[in-house]
Structure formats: C-alpha cells, structure tokens
Structure 1
Amino acid sequence: MTTTTKFEDAAPRGHAQAGMRGVMVPVLIGTLTGAIFVTVFLTLFHAPTPHRLPLGVVGTVEAVQARLDAQRPGAFTLTSFADAQRATEAIQRREIYGALLQNEGKVLVAGANGPSVTATVSQALQGQRVEDVLPSSAGDTAGLSTFYAGFGVVLAGFLFGQISYGMAPRLALRSRLLSIGIFGVLNGVLVALISSGLNALPGNVVLLALVVALVATAVAAATVTIIRLAGPVGTTISSVLLLILGNATGGGTLPVAYLPEWLQWVSGVLPVGVGVRAIKGVSYFQNDGLVVGLLVLAAWIAVCAGVLFLKDRRVQLAG
C-alpha cells in the first residue's frame, strides 16, 4: 500500500516564465531596485548639510545665530544655557549636538555622534578649543556601529520574511508568528552579545537586546505582511521601503537633522529610524528615544499580526 504525504506549507508550484518575460522581468526589477538605492543614498548624502541642527550657547545667542544664518541659512538653531554644566547635560541627553562657551572660547561636542557631526559643530561654532564631553567607545571610533548593527538587522529581517513566505506560504498564522518571534529574540540576543563583546555598542546589554529584537521582529513581520498582501511584487516593495528608505532615513550614519525637513518624519515612523535612535540612546545618550522606539516597534508588530490574521480569515471564509 502506497501512501502520499501532503505538506500543507509547501510552496505552490508555479509556471516557469518563458520567453522574454522570464528574461527581462528580473533584469528590470533588479535594475530598478539598484537605481532607487543609488538615487536615494546619493541624493541624501553626497553633500550632507544639517537642517536646524540644535546647538547651545552659554552667552549671547543672537550674535552667534546671526553669524551662522549668514554663513549657512537654516542649518542651525540655537538654545541659550545658563552655564557649561547645563549645556553638557543637554548634549549627553542628545537635546543638542554641541555648545559654545563664549567666555571660555570653548566648544563642547559629543564624539558619540560621529566624526562628521563633531567636525560640523566645531567649524560652525568656531571655538579656540574643543572638548569632547561624550566620546564614542574604543570599539566605535568611526561612530558607525549603530548604522552597521541596524542595517544588518533590517537585512536579516527582510531576508527572513522573504524566505519564510517563499518556503511556507500557507503556514498557519500561529506557527508563522512563532517563527517571527523566535527570529527576533535570537537576533536581539546575538547582536547585543556581539556588539557588547567588541565594545562597539556600550550600554545596558538587556535593553540593547530588547530593542534589536523588536526591530528584527518588526521588519520580519512587515516583510511577510507586505508579501502576503502584494504577492511577488511585495519583495520589491519591502526592499525599497525597509532596506533602502528605512536605512537612508534611519539616522545611523548622520543624525536625522541632516535629512531634508520634509523627509525627517519618516525616521520616526519606520522601524529602522526609531530602532537606531533607541540603540544610540541606550548606548550613549541616557536612553534617548527608548520609550518611543519600543512603542512604535510594538505597534508595527501588532498591526502586522492583525493584518495577517484578517487576511487569513478572509481567505478561510472565501474558501
């Protein structure tokens, strides 16, 4: 007696694309995605300039603001502080990115913001001396560890979503959510341990693992949801939205203030932007952006789970 086993989550058999369609569709999609990547990143970062980057002044704000506006209109916005201690505390909370102590001719900066930001602030405020009140860790001298960690997690989440749906398009929702959750937790723990071991991202390891886990989960869930709704083209949509636009506006290489003002809001909506800010905050800036990041990431996960549930329910009722 011969038995046949049916795998419910096996990928459906597709028809091979023949002729010019099978040749050109992958070419066009791949070329378009690459062109979008190059266009977005070069447009935003070929000559980066700040837009209302917040700075502080201990002294006369009006004169400094007038000089900065004459040199680079709209690039900086100044706040007055009573003394150096208050200005330093604001830098360490990432409320401002640097401060000029007029009476001392000194500029306070945070090396944790990266060399490019330090150079921008130092040149703009023109102090005789520069003091780093919050240096980057010994394992993050270029200030890019946050970007690399964020990009790696987003890439992993995108690949997970693509592979998960490709291998098991009819996987039960409970099992799919379990898979996404396990993926997120593993990524959170591994990235936190690796980053901490290399001293690339200092700070509370548990909080770092929590943020990274939520970023990985949110990106994976979003990718699966987009593909579930849009079909094969969902892979391209999720790559443009999460990998390209998300990382370009995430603030990992340069602060969000370096983005055009009309685009800055994207960083506070997509998982990459809120995740990167929270990771940076946990690592250096007294948990700046942590609470907002956790809430936004949790909302992404909840909404994606709800959409997947409704989609599956609708298919069941239709069948």
Structure 2
Amino acid sequence: MEGTVNSSLAKRAVGVTLGAVVLQLLMIVAFSWPAARTAPNDVPIVTAGPQAAAAAARLDRQLPGAFEASAVADEAAARKALADREAYGAIVATPAGPRVLVASAASPAVAQQLTQLGAQLAGAPAGGAVQDVVAADPDDPRGAGFGALALPLIMSSLAAAVLLTFAIPRLGARAAALVAFSALGGLAVAWLAQGWLSVLPGSYAAVAGVMALAILAVSGTVTGLAAVLGRPGIGLGALTLLLLGNPLSAAASAPELLPQPWGELGQLLPPGAAATLLRSVAFFDGAGAGGALTVLLVWAGAGLLLLGIGGLRGRGGDAAVAPEREPALAS
C-alpha cells in the first residue's frame, strides 16, 4: 500500500511540475508576444483637403495597411473627430503644406508614430508640423503611468476575489463584501491615480466610478466562477483575466497596435474595456465610452449572476472551496 501511495504522489509531482512549466511558457508568450509584435493595423485617421488625401495615399504606399483614412470637410471637422474618439489623428492641408493633428490622450504610442510621419510629410523637424489636439496628462506625457495601472489593478482584484471566497462562507455576505470592496477600491485607486501619481485628469467621481466598475467586473467574475465551479473557477477566472486580459488590454498602446484579432478581443475583456473607458472619461468627456461601459457592465452582471447560481446550487459556501483531504491509509 505504501508503494502505491508513493507512486501516486510521484505521478502527481511530475504532473504538477509539467503543468507549471507549460503555464510559465504560456504567461511569457501572452505578455511578450503582443509587445514584440506591436505595429499599426488600420489605425483610423481623417484627412481634410485634396492635398491631405494625397498625403494619406503616400502614407498607405509607405506603410500598407497601417492606417485607415477617411475624408472630412475641414480642419474643424477633423478636430471634432479626434475629440469624439473617432480617429487617432488627422492630416490637414494648409497653404504651407500638410499639418498633422494628434490626440496623445487616446494613445501616446500612436501620437508618437503620427508625429514622426507628419515630420516626413512636411519635410520639417519632428514635431514641427504636428499639433496635439487632446493632450495626455502633462505629468504622464508618454502614458507610462497610465499603462502601469492595469496589472496591479487586475492582480489586486483577483487577490480580493480569492480572499472573499475563502474568508466569507455565506453567499449574501460575500456579495455585499464584493460590492463594498469594489466601491471603496474605486475611490481609493482614483485618489491615488489623480492625487499622488497624477496620471489621470477629469472628474474624480467619474474616474472613481470607472475604477469601481472595473474592480467589480474582475473580482465579481472570479468570485462568481468560484461559487459555481469551486477552486477550478478561481483558476479559470485568473487565467482568463490575467493571462489574456492584461496583455491584450492595450493600456500602454492602442488596440489597433496589437496583432489582430487579438486587439479586438482584448476590448471584450474587463482590462481592455476599463482602459478604454478610463481614457474616455478622463480625457474626452465620455466620448466613445459606450462600448467599453457595456462590456464592463456585462462582466460585472455575469459575476453577480454566477454568485446567485452558486447559491441556488448550494455551492456558494464552504463546499465550493473545501480543502481536499488525502484518503486514509488502510491499516
């Protein structure tokens, strides 16, 4: 009997070791591959004037498929397109030559690329023919601080979901603690981002609301999956939101800079939707927020629904996360 137990433990150790190696490789690929393959893919821009259309055609010859240009009436319409988050940049014809408009608040990475292209089009030094219509926060001009918010926000929300699942056996109390954590976390993170870090402008209440909804979407999903599936639900939620959600969030770049269709997929997950919604409320007065807001509401609602289903099935408490026990050895 002892030999059988030792053999079983040895097989389990081998299986766990191999699984850990595979997980490590998957995480490295998930986090490194999008960054290594970052490049513009049909980035929406607008043009104003016949000369600007010719400049856009020149861009398409130089970088096929990088930009998707559409024509607007004049410079005012181009500026409105940027302010409404319909485009990342614009090429405007002027008597002195083409001028490029950018919105670095939408994506500093795209704005930097368009700035370099604008200098080439105008034959001027970098930045000489470019105007930033909707600028990023002056304390975070390259968006590094904003992009760095995503990972700790996700990881802390996942950790909270695990803590709530194991520490609070009663489903009703767990749901109440989840909502309270999301609300307080949103207020605290918004204060940190706007006050101490100074990486987000805009209304504190609006930013805090987005943060709270993002936390609820992540924590609620994992807590709900744990209530229905038990421990496997925690792993499933963590892998989906951390392994896929964070590297595909485009928080430090833009969805159009990721390999497709991964950039589009990232916007359907809470981290990507949260990054888009935060940019909209902080820099663009809510323009372009509808889709991202819907995604977060669906995920948050699904998490709460799963909590309810777990309660109805009687798996919302200790049964879902009860520690496994080794079978007793025969004497």
Q: 1:92 is matched by which residue type in structure 2? A: A
C-alpha separation between the residues in 2 aligned to 1:233 and 1:24? 20
Which residue is equivalent to 2:242? 243
- In the alignment of these two chains, the number of paired residues is 299
Q: Which residue does 1:223 correspond to in 2?
A: 222
The answer as to whether partners of 2:56 and 2:91 remain within 8 angstroms in 1 is: no
- Provide the TM-score with structure 1 as the length reference: 0.85
Distance 1:283-1:145 versus aligned 2 partners, 3 A rule: farther
Q: Compared with structure 1, are the counterparts of its residues 134 and 242 closer, same or farther at alpha carbon in structure 2 (3 Å cutoff)?
A: same
| One-letter code aligned to 2:309 | L
- Structure 2: gaps of 5 or more residues: 1-7, 320-331
277-286 vs 222-231, which deviates more? Answer: 222-231
Q: Does 1:315 align with 2:296?
A: no
Identical counterparts, % of pairs: 26
Residues 255 and 267 in structure 2, CA contact (< 8 A), matched pair in contact too: no
Residue type of the alignment partner of 2:74: D
> What's the CA shift for 1:210?
0.5
Question: Pick from 75, 84, 87: which aligns with 1:84?
Answer: 75
Cα offset, 1:310, TM superposition: 1.9
Does 224-233 or 300-309 show the bigger shift? 224-233
Query: Closer, same or farther in 2 for the Cα pair 1:131/1:98, shift >3 Å?
Result: same
Distance 1:157 1:298 in 2: 16
On the 8 A contact 1:114/1:144 being kept in 2, the answer is: no
Whichever residue aligns with residue 226 of structure 1, its letter is L
Shift of 1:224: 1.4
Q: Please list the CA deviations of residues 51-80 of structure 1 after superposition, one character each: whole Å capped at 9, or x if unmatched.
A: 110112122365334322322221111011
Letter in 2 for 1:38: I
Decide whether the 8 Å contact of 1:145 with 1:201 is kept in 2.
Answer: no
Deviates more, 1:272-281 or 1:147-156: 147-156
**1:245, 1:311 → 2: CA distance?**
25
Alignment-derived partner of residue 110 in structure 2: 117
Task: Give a deviation string over 1:97-152, Cα, whole Å, max 9, x none.
Answer: 11112223321112224442122212344333122222211221221333222322
Query: Aligned partners of 2:264, 2:108: CA distance in 1, in Å?
Result: 24
Which letter does structure 1 place at the counterpart of 2:297? Answer: A
Q: Tell me the distance in 2 between the aligned counterparts of 1:116 and 1:293.
A: 20
- The one-letter amino acid of 2:252's match is T
Partner of 2:26: 36
Number of the residue aligned with 1:151: 151
User: Helix, strand or coil: the match of 1:207?
Assistant: helix
Return the offset for 1:249.
1.8
Partner of 2:45: 55
The yes-or-no answer on 1:253 pairing with 2:247 is no
Contact 1:146–1:279 under 8 Å retained in 2: no
Partner Cα distance (2:245, 2:284) in 1: 22
* C-alpha spacing 1:156/1:289, structure 2 compared with 1 (3 Å): farther
**Deviations 1:261-291 (Å, cap 9, x if unpaired)?**
3223323321112111110111112213434
Q: Bigger shift: 212-221 or 79-88?
A: 79-88
Deviation, 1:215, is 0.6
Q: Which residue of 2 aligns with 1:19?
A: 9
> Which among 180, 191, 194 is matched to residue 193 of structure 1?
191
RMSD: 2.4
Q: Which residue of 1 aligns with 2:278?
A: 279
What is the Cα deviation at residue 29 of structure 1? 4.2
Contact 1:113/1:143, CA 8 A, preserved across alignment = no
Contact 2:244/2:266 (8 A) holds in 1 = no
Separation (CA, whole Å) in 2 of partners of 1:93 and 1:25 = 52
Aligned residue in 2 for 1:172: 170
Residue 307 of structure 1, CA deviation: 2.0
Q: Aligned partners of 2:79, 2:113: CA distance in 1, in Å?
A: 18
Q: Is the 8 A contact 1:208 1:279 kept in 2?
A: yes
Q: 1:28 to 1:229 in 2, by over 3 A?
A: farther
User: How far, CA to CA, are the matches of 1:313 and 1:101 in structure 2?
Assistant: 60
Shift, 1:89, TM fit: 2.0
Give me the whole-angstrom Cα distance separating, in 2, the residues matched to 1:144 and 1:28.
35
CA distance, structure 1, for counterparts of residue 165 and residue 46 of structure 2: 50
Deviation at 1:172, TM superposition (A): 2.0
* Partner residue, 2:300: 301
1:73 equivalent in structure 2: 64
Separation in structure 2 between the aligned mates of residue 299 and residue 311 of structure 1, nearest angstrom: 18
Change (3 A) 1:213 1:85: same
Secondary structure of 2:142's match? coil
Equivalent position SS for 2:313: helix
**Amino acid corresponding to residue 53 of structure 1 in structure 2:** V
- Cα deviation for residue 36 of structure 1 reads 1.6
Is the 1:146–1:280 contact (alpha carbons within 8 Å) kept by the matching residues of 2?
Answer: no
Match of 2:5 in 1: none
Question: Structure 1 residues 101 and 221 mapped into 2: Cα distance closer, same or farther (>3 Å)?
Answer: same
Contact residue 173 and residue 308 of structure 1 kept, 8 A: yes
